[in-house]
Amino acid sequence: MIVGKRTGLEEPGEFVADGVDGLMIEAAGVQKVFEAGGLRVRALRGVDLGIRRGEMVAIMGPSGCGKTTLLNVLSGLDELTGGEVRVDGEPIRGMSDRRRTRFRAEKMGFIFQSYNLIPVLSAIENVELPLLVAGKKPKKARRWALDALEMVGLPEQADKRPAEMSGGQQQRVTVARSLVNNPAIVWADEPTGALDSETSKGIMDLLVRLNREQRQTFVLVTHDAAVAARAHRTILMRDGNITSDEPNGSPRGEGE
Ligand SMILES: Nc1ncnc2c1ncn2[C@@H]1O[C@H](COP(=O)(O)OP(=O)(O)OP(=O)(O)O)[C@@H](O)[C@H]1O
Ligand SMILES: [Mg+2]
């Protein structure tokens, strides 16, 4: 289960953390260099960052500043060129590919802007797929997937295919899929980027509620200041560096 206890008395951004330092993600001097066609791009130039358990962090910055690259190296989807990343206390650099893939499957959920749903599968089949891949029994996978669809308010859409749903509904299916394993960390890259402002607010209400109720750690890339304001904290990036990292002072909305 997710660690970190809340007393209900904390201000937004304040946590009572378990463990030695309460950090879920620790990055020190993280560098990423892409070499393509004789061109060398320094996408991350020495990023230091700590994210606490149960925290929801927004990452903002101009196109090309390295936001997606940062998510990719922190989550172990991509190799780092230099520096150290620890997730839940474990250095991801030394892990074998196989171990890292398993680590991700057990601990992480991903929400991207392009929904990445499989068109020929129904909503519930899309949601249960990661469980089946992880070797869960079909009956159990179906039950958990239905729970996840209920959590995002879509149980009646279970048998529909992605093309038969609205953009917001499809995005909620991807949220259900990313949460079906009860991951400790959810990475989201512009989860509301393709949605109108009303639907976007609905998705953020959902993510804030899950963050609050399930105590998952959320790392959220967004171009939308209204979306970032719902997080506990906003990190600004520019040219592969973090240029500012501040708690969000204002309330998060939806009862908090
Ligand atoms: N696979 C790659 N090969 C070469 N260069 C890359 C690769 N991926 C990203 N880059 C470069 O690294 C830099 C950071 O890219 P990144 O995708 O992290 O930006 P971003 O902040 O997510 O931008 P956006 O807001 O447009 O999504 C850019 O200069 C980009 O061109
Ligand atoms: Mg990006």
Q: What does the pLDDT average to over 122-145?
A: 93
- Mean pLDDT value across the chain: 87
Cα of 224 vs centre of ligand 1, distance in Å, is 19
Cα of 43 vs centre of ligand 1, distance in Å, is 7
Q: Which residues have C-beta atoms less than 6 Å from ligand 1?
A: 34, 36, 41, 43, 61, 63-69
Cα of 137 vs centre of ligand 2, distance in Å, is 35
Instruction: Tell whether the model's pLDDT for residue 137 goes beyond 60.
Output: yes
Show me where the domains of the chain are located. Answer: 55-78+97-247
Structure confidence at residue 237 as a pLDDT band (50, 70, 90) = very high
Ligand nearest to the CA of 33: 1
The pLDDT of residue 167? 87
Phi-psi region of 255 (alpha: psi -120 to 50; beta: other; left: phi over 0): left
Q: CB under 8 Å to 217, separation ≥6 — which residues?
A: 24, 25, 51, 52, 53, 54, 55, 56, 184, 185, 186
Closest approach atom of ligand 1 to CA 66: 18
Q: In this predicted model, what pLDDT tens digit does every residue of 176-208 receive, in sequence order?
A: 999 888 899 999 999 888 788 888 888 899 899
The pLDDT of residue 12? 43
Q: What is the pTM of this model?
A: 0.86
Which of 160, 132, 157, 161 lies closest to 144, judged by CA?
A: 132
| CATH, domain range 55-78+97-247 | 3.40.50.300
Cα of 255 vs centre of ligand 2, distance in Å, is 30
Instruction: Tell whether the model's pLDDT for residue 39 goes beyond 80.
Output: yes
Q: Which residues pair with 158 in a beta bridge?
A: none
Q: In this predicted model, what pLDDT tens digit does every residue of 1-36 receive, in sequence order?
A: 333 444 333 444 444 444 335 899 999 999 999 998
